[in-house]
Amino acid sequence: MDNRVEKVSDAVERLAVSLAESGAVPVPELIRALERAAERLRSPNNSVEVPADLVSQADAARSVGVSRQAVNQWARKGLVSTYPGVRNRAQVSLAEVAIAAHQRTPPHFGADRRHELMQFLELTKDPSVARLADDLDQLLDVDVPLRPEEPHVLREFVVAAMDAGNRHKELSAEGERLLAELEPRFRLDVDTSFGQLVTSLGLVVTSAHGHSGFDSASSVVLGLLGAATVGTQHLRDGSAVASGIAHAAREVWGDDWPGRLHEAAYRIGMTSPAPLVRFTESMTHLDAHRFLRQAQPTGVSISYSRRPGPLLPEWFHGSNVYCDVTRGRRLTPTWAFEASDAEALASSPGGALTNPFRVFAYEHALLDSSVHGVRRYCFSATDARAAMRSVRSHLGADEYETYLRTSVETLATTLAVPHVELAVVEDDDAFDWWKDHIIRASEHEVLLGLHDPGLRGVAHSLLVQTSALPAVVEAADNALRDRLRIYVKNLEFDVIDARYRDDLRRGRARIIKAGGVALTIAEASALAEAEIEACLR
């Protein structure tokens, strides 16, 4: 009998080789994992970071909307960390207090809110909206089941991701068929005035069988919000319907009706989440507020973008609003634009730059001061440079000067928001397959972007509840299940977060401004100007 004691290093090496040879872990992924582990062991980080958003307990209570006694109790119980302040008065992190408040008062769609929503839907006096109201009333506060086709759609997405290096393959032919044939949970008659309006605004999904509508209860409310805002700018017959919806909302909620509709979409999404939701491009932008509110209880969300709105003002505002911004006559409310520009919306709805809902993703989500928690926004330096240089080659000297000034102002506005963390991936190769598809991620859900033109006819993005991911593995056959389990982990927030931190640690990504850091407008402007100059060099 051999009594020799095997070295730990030899055992680890043998385990790694066995995993690779058995095909349980792809060799490139295994090598990356071992490299990361070695790097962490070489440079342990034991330092304690002090949050940059420290305030007094009283200020935190006022900002978040809870009692001072509640904040004091959370601090005494260790639920919220305290830090030394002036005159020996303990300070707390504003984000930590907001997270604690949301964790201890989970949102629900109570009787009063439900009554207000139904009252609003009744006041619209539109037959299509009335039918949606009936469907909503029956499905609110009900657990939405995972449909048999949905795990198979995600399975095909993950299988496509296993083909390393192929950025153009997102779904197999079977996956494309399953996605296209998914019926909307809330069906809409597109021949009505309301149906024609939301269809022209790009707010509904359509199945291969010709049925249009919405995939979740919260997206129904967001569709109504889109109709009542951008829809009123439309030059077609539907503008009267849109104005009627906006008037009904104002009757119920007053001037804060857009915020109350966003709030309703968030609370419905928390109490009746759908496992898989298809979004058009318009809905992807409109839903950003609900998504970030959803991420509040855990405090962090991560977004990846090829063309960053905070740097490129035309992507930030959308071309309709951007035209007004460059003319120096920005209209209110934020989604409004000159009537002469509405023709662009009417002639090419859904275009990437003409999409008028882009402004919602930034001004009513990323920059919204009422949404607490760190919002990590990471973009590709390669694509940002290419986009800005393309603009420079097409504009005259005066126009380009206006463009640069607008870019600096837009980026400075973003950097001045304390909870925004802006990072950039310098090397194009580091912006890998997963980053290319993750539009937003949180512990509750992940939003996957689709790029193939054929797929975009069905959906611009897929909103996936992370609680539904185990069903994706179960949908696979035995030969594929173990390997699929590894790749499905890439859709979980802790893995996305680990990759984000790992890229920063290894220098593959660079922090422009950390989350929780408060900058003055002057500081933000100076940082924005330096970043844009570097981008153009």
Residue pLDDT, tens place only, 17-68: 776 666 666 666 666 667 667 666 665 554 456 776 788 888 888 777 678 8
Torsion of CA 260, 266, 267, 271, to 10 degrees: 160
- CATH value of 54-104 in 1.10.3470, 2.40.50, 1.10.10, 1.10.357: 1.10.10
Burial environment of residue 395 by CB neighbours within 10 A (0 to 12, 13 to 18, 19 or more):
middle
> 188 φ, ψ to 5°?
-130, 140
Cβ-Cβ contacts under 8 Å for 327 (sequence gap 6 or more): none
Distance CA 476, CA 421 (A): 37
Cβ-Cβ contacts under 8 Å for 361 (sequence gap 6 or more): 284, 285, 286, 288, 309
Is 185:216 a contact under the CB 8 Å cutoff?
yes
Q: Which single residue is written with the structure tokens 């582990």? A: 37
Distance CA 192, CA 462 (A): 27
pLDDT digits (tens, 9 = 90+) for 148-183: 999 999 998 988 888 755 556 788 888 899 999 999
**What is the structure's pLDDT at 351?**
45
Distance CA 281, CA 380 (A): 20
> What are the DSSP E strand ranges found in 299-409?
300-305, 374-380
> What are the DSSP E strand ranges found in 306-387?
374-380
C-alpha Rg value of the chain to the nearest Å: 24
**What is the structure's pLDDT at 353?**
62
> Comparing C-alpha atoms, which of 441, 443, 411 is closest to residue 536?
411
Cβ-Cβ contacts under 8 Å for 313 (sequence gap 6 or more): 322, 325, 403, 406, 407, 409, 410
**What is the structure's pLDDT at 48?**
52
pLDDT digits (tens, 9 = 90+) for 398-449: 888 988 999 999 999 999 998 899 999 988 888 888 898 999 999 999 999 9
**What is the structure's pLDDT at 221?**
95
Q: 54-56 and 300-305 as β-strands: parallel, antiparallel, unpaired?
A: unpaired
> Which strands sit side by side in the sheet containing 82-83, from one edge to the other?
54-56, 91-93, 82-83
> Comparing C-alpha atoms, which of 349, 237, 232 is closest to residue 283?
349
**What is the structure's pLDDT at 166?**
54
Distance CA 294, CA 152 (A): 26
**What is the structure's pLDDT at 518?**
82
User: Could you give the 3-state DSSP secondary structure of residue 180?
Assistant: helix
For the cut 70, the answer to whether the pLDDT of residue 1 exceeds it is no
**What is the average pLDDT across 480-504?**
90
Q: Where in the chain is the domain with CATH 1.10.10?
A: 54-104
pLDDT digits (tens, 9 = 90+) for 287-309: 999 999 888 777 789 999 988 88
- Does the pTM surpass 0.75? The reply is yes
Q: Please report how many Cα atoms fall inside a 13 Å half-sphere around the Cα of residue 481, on the Cβ side.
A: 9
Please, what is the average pLDDT of the chain? 84
pLDDT digits (tens, 9 = 90+) for 210-268: 999 999 999 999 999 999 999 988 655 557 889 999 999 999 999 999 999 999 999 89
Distance CA 537, CA 532 (A): 9
